Structure 1
Amino acid sequence: MNNAFDPHEQAADLNAKIIAGLERLSTVFRAVIQQQAKANQLTPLQTQLLLFIASHREHLCTVTRLAEEFVVTKATVSDSIRVLVEKGYLAKQAKADPRTFSLMVTPKGKDTIIQLQQLTQLFEPVLANLTQAEQQTTWQVLIQLIARFQAQGMIPTRMCMTCQHFEKNKQGAYCHLLKSPLAIKDLRIDCPEHELIK
């Protein structure tokens, strides 16, 4: 097995170069998340959980689903949720079954989310320097990679290609829910209306 982190291996192996490139990009994202988390006295995972819960439907914000989403244990998610509740960023809302609860972002949590969302601003100028064609090509490659990792069970997504409303034929991609053809730029990896193919 080749060592993709060895520059000598990378010189002769395009796959090794791609793996090393993905690692470099993940380092940038991790550094930005850590910076924002530290500024708000949160861990990176707590930051990601807070952002996710604020923008996703209730059924995706259970401890089990969050553990799957972030590829961590349920115990790790539970600990992070407990801290976010204690700090006043989240509130638990009891359900009919006493073993379950839903999570709501508090006003304090919403104020913090506004600050945390600034982390995307560091990426926007870099992406703005790409041409529209380069942006579309980048998006197409990302979708293909994510789809393959999802097929291996490594990451969950709610992407068009796994949705029962999606169809691909000779004319291209089509969404039956939107009743509209889909260009590459229209494809999503996190669609609120996603319904898994049965």
Structure 2
Amino acid sequence: MSHSADLDRRVLAGVERLGRALRAARQDVATRHEVSLLGLSVIETLADGRPRRVGDLAAELDVSQPTVSDAVTVLDKRGLIRRDRDPADLRSTLVALTDDGDRLAADAAAELAPLLAAGSGTDADRATTLRVLLGEIARLQAAGVITVNRSCLSCRHYQPPGPRTRARCLLLATALADRDLRVDCPEHEPIPA
């Protein structure tokens, strides 16, 4: 095995281990709050305050629409989400958190905060890691492995750094350091195919 292939294998193993730890921690939080792991994901996604259609939630969470619809129905019965008519299309509904849903989202975020605080290295190290991870996400999206990517690196407004210039967000007209890159940008517009 080449040195490069061995390094790739170890990076993948490390990412998998982090993923398993995060999933286990999120499952513990979901169980304590008596919601499914998918229900917790729906709540975390809606915690940004942007109501969404069920189909949009399904795409963001990379699961089928009927599966998300079932989870939304359970959360609705528990009073954690509400459904409102979409003013842009009165045939559709938008899903948003209720006050109880907001509280659950805040509690879950607080319970998961120790995972974030456990970050090692300097701020610059973590910022570089973020940039590299977003690059890998963009690569996996281009390969069809990831279906939804709302990060800076996949946005038509992102201008990569040049030899003498920093990366920029053309929409916000601002320079972007690695630490400023977004994983899920509300202003994201995909790069045209």
Instruction: Mark yes or no: TM-score above 0.5.
Output: yes
Equivalent residue for 1:86?
A: 77
TM-score for both structures, normalised by structure 2: 0.86
Determine which of 130, 144, 148 is the counterpart of 1:139.
130
The alignment status of 1:123 with 2:112, answered yes or no, reads no
Q: CA-to-partner distance for each residue in 1:27-84, whole Å, 9 max, x for gaps?
A: 11101110110110001110010110121523xx222221121121111101000000
2:157 is aligned to: 165
Alignment partner, residue 22 of structure 2: 29
- Between the aligned partners of 1:98 and 1:176, the Cα distance in structure 2 is 33
Sequence identity percentage = 35
Whether 1:69 and 2:60 are equivalent positions in the alignment is yes
Q: Residue 168 of structure 2 contacts residue 175 of structure 2 at CA under 8 Å; is this kept in 1?
A: yes
Letter in 2 for 1:104: A
Work out whether residues 56 and 192 of structure 1, in 8 Å CA contact, stay in contact via their aligned partners in 2: no
Asked if 1 retains the 8 angstrom alpha-carbon contact of 2:149 and 2:184, the reply is yes
Alignment correspondent of 1:110: 102
Is 28-37 or 155-164 further displaced after alignment? 155-164
Asked whether 1:186 is paired with 2:180, we answer yes
Cα distance 1:158–1:186, how it changes in 2: closer, same or farther (>3 A)? same
Query: What's the TM-score once normalised by structure 1's chain length?
Result: 0.84
Q: CA deviation at 1:160?
A: 1.5
Q: CA deviation at 1:99?
A: 4.2
SS class of match (2:47): helix
Distance in 1, Cα, partners of 2:138 & 2:80: 33
Which ranges of structure 1 fall in alignment gaps of 5 or more residues? 3-11
For 1:69 and 1:56, the matched residues in 2 are separated by: 15
Q: Distance in 1 between matches of 2:140 and 2:49?
A: 22
Letter in 1 for 2:125: E
| Aligned mate of 2:47, from 37, 49, 54 | 54
Quick one: distance in 2 between partners of 1:52 and 1:109? Answer: 11
Deviations, residues 119-145 of structure 1 (Å, cap 9, x unaligned): 431223311x42223212222221221
- How many residues align? The count is 186
The residue type equivalent to 1:125 in the other structure is A
Q: State yes or no: 1:18 paired with 2:11.
A: yes
Measured on the aligned residues, the alpha-carbon RMSD in Å equals 2.2
Whole-Å Cα distance in 2 between the matches of residues 193 and 136 of structure 1?
21
Distance 1:57 1:110 in 2: 12
Please give the alpha-carbon distance, in whole angstroms, between the structure 2 residues aligned to 1:175 and 1:66. 25
